[in-house]
Chains A and B, each alone.
Chain A
Amino acid sequence: MPEFLTAAEHRTLAAACDRLIPPVDGHPGAAALGVADYVDGLLGAFTVDPPRIWAGGPFSGRAGGDPGFRRFLPLTPMEELAWRTRIEGSQGDPAREFNGPVVGWQARYRAGLAALGADFAEQDPDEQDRRLAADPEFRSLCYEHACEGAYAAPEYGGNRAGGGWRAIGFPGDSQPRGYTEAEVSGRA
């Protein structure tokens, strides 16, 4: 169940991101990589405490050690102000408007997905591309987040089961194992 997006918005977003990072032979598309879950996790970051902003450390468990990435880190009050402003917008709060009002990502996604249309996921790729091209700013926002969601650590909700990394031949976080001298200096 999505945290911020409605099920319908989630479906539209997954389809939209799949046009930005489409599946090709050997590389799953954004939808299969869970990019919409990543964006939803970001938009709903403050529904959990500590918020889903900074994964913990020092290790994920993938290369040994305890799975510390799963324990998100708490934010200071000012860091929370920044991330809430980014996500929720300034909403008239003077503390968030020291350089003027800020439209948050939640509102931008809500409006942008609505503009793509409730039937977006059912359209053919050309029509989907046409609708995406109509709002270049929203398309760039989706693309930026799709790049993050496809290749960030899976603890943030995307890069499902490390599939983004596997496709591109990137092993991901390597601590505490690291690499041997032969692995660093050798050709392979």
Chain B
Amino acid sequence: MRDFDAIVVGTGPGGATAAQVLAEAGRSVCMLEKGANHLLALDAPYGPLGHVSNDELKFTRRHFLGPDPLLEPRTFRGDESGGDHEFVGDVNNLPSTVGGGGFHADGKLPRFREEDFCARSTLGPVDGADVVDWPFGYAELEPFYTEAERLVGVAGDHTANPFAAWRSGPYPMPPGPDMFCATLTTAAAERLGYHPYRAPTGVNSVEYDGRPACNNCGFCADFGCPIEAKGDPVGMLRAALRTGRTEIRPGVRVTEIVLDATGRRARGVRYVDAAGEPGEVHAETVVVAAGAFETPRLLARSGVGNPDVVGRYLMYHLQTLVLGLFPFRLHAYKGRSVTHLMDDPIVPDAAALAAAHQAGLPYARGGIVEHGGAGLPILEALHLPPGEAHSRAMLESVMRDRMAAFTMQGEDLPQAGNRIDDDPRVRDAWGRPAGRVTYTPHRHDVVAATHWAPRLEAVMREAGAHTTFWVTSPTLRENLRPGADPTPRSRHIMGTARMGTDPRTSVCDPGQRCWDVENVVVTDSSVFPTSTGYGPTLTIVATALRAARLVVG
């Protein structure tokens, strides 16, 4: 018995993309999403619901987009010596809501470089890491990148980044306006010989796909867009709904993939709905796009995927935050949070190679540097001490309106010991084990961070900052104060169901199908064999397009 041609678990960028491809190819699609729906009406013409707003409290303090860490705690430890866990609460929580994390990301959407798909064969092995090539190369993915940029609606300048991979055409839209703070930091970076460029961003700079141009409201990263100027993934979800063959069911928590008697094919999934009622739905294909945190847990719970590999090779980006305090106000509360990137740390120069060699590493690759400003007032306030110093510092706004920030998304090498599994002691409100992270960055990641941090501080000073400092996330173990949050704040999560060409060392085949249960297809960043130094999301969409096309034939 089959209710739909395909089930899609998760409505983030990965799931939304797969749903659009399947539905447009004539398949009936049932999307199951454990979060609530604040994104779009589920009846034609699928307009916005009007729940999204410029509201710092709602989005950053009151878990509006979920998951609520009280209902769904997660746990963290650096390694086994941390016992069952060292921390309980919000661990890498991406929104759990219709639209997933795409909904509130600020959508910097660069492509990876050619070399990123073959790091092992071009750069060689690294001790203590399992760096591997991707099962396909950039040339194969290029048309899907082009299509992904069109589906989401990416604004950018294709001539601006000298390190960018070749591409078959320009971006669908020109770039949006530069933030004032970025005009200072990019000019400084250029003076010091770096190559900043206007960030390709999934935000409309002109009216596109029936949605308006961004009006630079400033509540971008961490917020949904009240006027739908961000296309990820509302563009894909709406396209899927418009076929008339897609149904989205919010509040439905998939608990298990149901296999047939042979154990080699999925029949569908089991779930608990918003009212707490259990149910089952059946389909020919099960697409899993629950995000790289939940996908491996769902596979493991269902006995799907190579058990020696599922959940392992968890990667983030080692984030290096370089902060500069300026003698004047920067008003970074206007604009799209980040308007420029630079790739220089991804392509090691002589100094970066020397630092790597000195540390006994063949190379050290950092990541994109995001040129942005500071956060919003509640965040600023919470970082200050109470008392008169609070009120005076808020008046001056040293840590907000006078602060610029670089975030380097440093490449994180894959290690088998870094993983996601179930915590033996902590449960969620549904009585299921909480997800647990065991994670320590590789020495490579730390070397790249410590090499680049002072260089980026120099850029900040050149731009006019009188004071600079830097921190990493996760905080390096040696700098971690007792009681401090040891978790990585990165929301780029990858690698936990890696794809490859050998079923003994990977979970998914090169078509992102599980080797052992072929009609289970994974279309999120779980399949990434390496993290690269770029945001994952455009590549999630491009690989999901490719994988879904292989399903429809």
Residues of A within 8 A of B (CB): 19-24, 26-27, 29, 53-60, 68-69, 73, 76-79, 81-82, 85-86, 95, 98-99, 139, 143-144, 146-148, 150-153, 156, 164-165, 167-181, 183-188
Q: In B399-436, which residues have CB < 8 Å from any A CB?
A: 400-401, 426-429, 431
Q: How many angstroms between the C-alpha atoms of A185 and B386 in the bound complex? A: 34
Whether B227 and A99, one on each chain, are in contact in the complex, defined by CB atoms closer than 8 angstroms, is: no
List 10 tightest A-B contacts by C-beta distance, closest first: A178-B215, A57-B53, A173-B54, A147-B381, A58-B226, A152-B57, A151-B377, A20-B386, A181-B177, A179-B334
Per-position binary interface string of chain B over residues 343-375, scored 1 when its CB falls under 8 Å from any chain A CB and 0 otherwise: 000000000000000000000000000000000
Select B177's contact among A150, A156, A165, A185, beta carbons within 8 Å.
Answer: A185
A33 to B: closest C-beta gap in Å:
10
Whether B57 and A148, one on each chain, are in contact in the complex, defined by CB atoms closer than 8 angstroms, is: yes
Whether B431 and A98, one on each chain, are in contact in the complex, defined by CB atoms closer than 8 angstroms, is: yes
Select A54's contact among B58, B391, B394, B428, beta carbons within 8 Å.
Answer: B58
Residue B550 interfacial (CB < 8 Å): no
* Cβ–Cβ < 8 Å partners of A99 in chain B: 73, 426-427
B461 to A: closest C-beta gap in Å:
19
A100 to B: closest C-beta gap in Å:
10
Q: How many angstroms between the C-alpha atoms of A144 and B391 in the bound complex? A: 14
Q: How many angstroms between the C-alpha atoms of A174 and B54 in the bound complex? A: 7
* Cβ–Cβ < 8 Å partners of A58 in chain B: 48, 50-53, 226-227
Whether A185 and B51, one on each chain, are in contact in the complex, defined by CB atoms closer than 8 angstroms, is: no
Whether B55 and A153, one on each chain, are in contact in the complex, defined by CB atoms closer than 8 angstroms, is: yes
Whether A169 and B397, one on each chain, are in contact in the complex, defined by CB atoms closer than 8 angstroms, is: yes
Residue B528 interfacial (CB < 8 Å): no
Whether B70 and A82, one on each chain, are in contact in the complex, defined by CB atoms closer than 8 angstroms, is: yes
* Cβ–Cβ < 8 Å partners of B397 in chain A: 168-170
Select A56's contact among B53, B214, B388, beta carbons within 8 Å.
Answer: B53
Q: In B3-62, which residues have CB < 8 Å from any A CB?
A: 36, 48, 50-58, 61-62
Q: How many angstroms between the C-alpha atoms of A106 and B397 in the bound complex? A: 32
Q: How many angstroms between the C-alpha atoms of A56 and B427 in the bound complex? A: 31
* Cβ–Cβ < 8 Å partners of B56 in chain A: 151-153
Whether A21 and B226, one on each chain, are in contact in the complex, defined by CB atoms closer than 8 angstroms, is: no
Residue B251 interfacial (CB < 8 Å): yes
* Cβ–Cβ < 8 Å partners of B400 in chain A: 168, 170
Q: With contacts defined as CB atoms under 8 Å apart, how many contacts are there between chain A and chain B in the complex?
A: 185
* Cβ–Cβ < 8 Å partners of A23 in chain B: 391
Q: How many angstroms between the C-alpha atoms of A172 and B214 in the bound complex? A: 18
Q: Which residue of A lies closest to B63 (CB)?
A: A82
* Cβ–Cβ < 8 Å partners of A79 in chain B: 36, 68, 71
Whether B217 and A175, one on each chain, are in contact in the complex, defined by CB atoms closer than 8 angstroms, is: yes
A162 to B: closest C-beta gap in Å:
11
Q: Which residue of A lies closest to B253 (CB)?
A: A78
* Cβ–Cβ < 8 Å partners of B388 in chain A: 22, 24
* Cβ–Cβ < 8 Å partners of B261 in chain A: none
Select B427's contact among A76, A98, A178, beta carbons within 8 Å.
Answer: A98
Residue B179 interfacial (CB < 8 Å): yes
* Cβ–Cβ < 8 Å partners of A29 in chain B: 391
Whether B429 and A173, one on each chain, are in contact in the complex, defined by CB atoms closer than 8 angstroms, is: no
Q: Which of A20, A57, A171 has the most CB of B within 10 A?
A: A57
Residue B481 interfacial (CB < 8 Å): no
* Cβ–Cβ < 8 Å partners of A85 in chain B: 70
Whether B381 and A150, one on each chain, are in contact in the complex, defined by CB atoms closer than 8 angstroms, is: yes
Whether A82 and B68, one on each chain, are in contact in the complex, defined by CB atoms closer than 8 angstroms, is: yes
Contacts A60-B54, A172-B54, A177-B215 given; 4 further ones with Cβ under 8 A? Answer: A22-B388, A59-B53, A78-B71, A168-B400
Known contacts A184-B177, A184-B178; decide if A57 and B52 are in contact (CB<8 Å): yes
Q: List 15 A-B contacts (CB under 8 A).
A: A22-B387, A24-B392, A55-B55, A55-B57, A56-B53, A58-B52, A73-B51, A99-B426, A152-B378, A164-B377, A167-B395, A170-B377, A173-B53, A174-B54, A178-B216
Whether B64 and A54, one on each chain, are in contact in the complex, defined by CB atoms closer than 8 angstroms, is: yes
* Cβ–Cβ < 8 Å partners of B218 in chain A: 174, 178-179
* Cβ–Cβ < 8 Å partners of B242 in chain A: none
Select B429's contact among A81, A151, A165, A174, beta carbons within 8 Å.
Answer: A81
Whether A173 and B390, one on each chain, are in contact in the complex, defined by CB atoms closer than 8 angstroms, is: no
Known contacts A173-B219, A175-B227; decide if A76 and B36 are in contact (CB<8 Å): yes
Q: How many angstroms between the C-alpha atoms of A150 and B217 in the bound complex? A: 21
Residue B335 interfacial (CB < 8 Å): yes
Residues of B within 8 A of A (CB): 36, 48, 50-58, 61-64, 68, 70-71, 73, 177-180, 183, 214-219, 226-227, 251, 274-276, 328-329, 331, 333-335, 376-378, 381-382, 386-388, 390-392, 394-395, 397, 400-401, 426-429, 431
Whether A22 and B391, one on each chain, are in contact in the complex, defined by CB atoms closer than 8 angstroms, is: yes
* Cβ–Cβ < 8 Å partners of B426 in chain A: 99
Known contacts A99-B73, A181-B177, A181-B216; decide if A167 and B394 are in contact (CB<8 Å): yes
B70 to A: closest C-beta gap in Å:
5
B503 to A: closest C-beta gap in Å:
38
Select A186's contact among B51, B180, B328, B387, beta carbons within 8 Å.
Answer: B180
Whether B334 and A183, one on each chain, are in contact in the complex, defined by CB atoms closer than 8 angstroms, is: yes
* Cβ–Cβ < 8 Å partners of B401 in chain A: 168-170
B196 to A: closest C-beta gap in Å:
15
Known contacts A24-B395, A54-B64, A59-B226; decide if A184 and B55 are in contact (CB<8 Å): no
Whether B390 and A21, one on each chain, are in contact in the complex, defined by CB atoms closer than 8 angstroms, is: yes
A75 to B: closest C-beta gap in Å:
9
A78 to B: closest C-beta gap in Å:
6
Q: How many angstroms between the C-alpha atoms of A54 and B64 in the bound complex? A: 7
* Cβ–Cβ < 8 Å partners of B392 in chain A: 24, 27
Q: How many angstroms between the C-alpha atoms of A144 and B392 in the bound complex? A: 18
* Cβ–Cβ < 8 Å partners of B55 in chain A: 55, 57, 69, 152-153, 173
Whether A69 and B177, one on each chain, are in contact in the complex, defined by CB atoms closer than 8 angstroms, is: no
Select B53's contact among A21, A24, A175, beta carbons within 8 Å.
Answer: A175
Whether A69 and B53, one on each chain, are in contact in the complex, defined by CB atoms closer than 8 angstroms, is: yes
Whether A175 and B50, one on each chain, are in contact in the complex, defined by CB atoms closer than 8 angstroms, is: no
Q: How many angstroms between the C-alpha atoms of A180 and B335 in the bound complex? A: 9
Q: Which residue of B lies closest to A20 (CB)?
A: B386
Q: Which of B183, B387, B391 has the most CB of A within 10 A?
A: B391
Known contacts A24-B388, A55-B58; decide if A179 and B216 are in contact (CB<8 Å): yes
Whether A185 and B251, one on each chain, are in contact in the complex, defined by CB atoms closer than 8 angstroms, is: no
Whether B394 and A168, one on each chain, are in contact in the complex, defined by CB atoms closer than 8 angstroms, is: yes
Q: How many angstroms between the C-alpha atoms of A54 and B218 in the bound complex? A: 20
Whether A165 and B377, one on each chain, are in contact in the complex, defined by CB atoms closer than 8 angstroms, is: yes
Q: Which residue of B lies closest to A26 (CB)?
A: B395
A130 to B: closest C-beta gap in Å:
13
Whether A178 and B217, one on each chain, are in contact in the complex, defined by CB atoms closer than 8 angstroms, is: yes
Whether B394 and A143, one on each chain, are in contact in the complex, defined by CB atoms closer than 8 angstroms, is: no
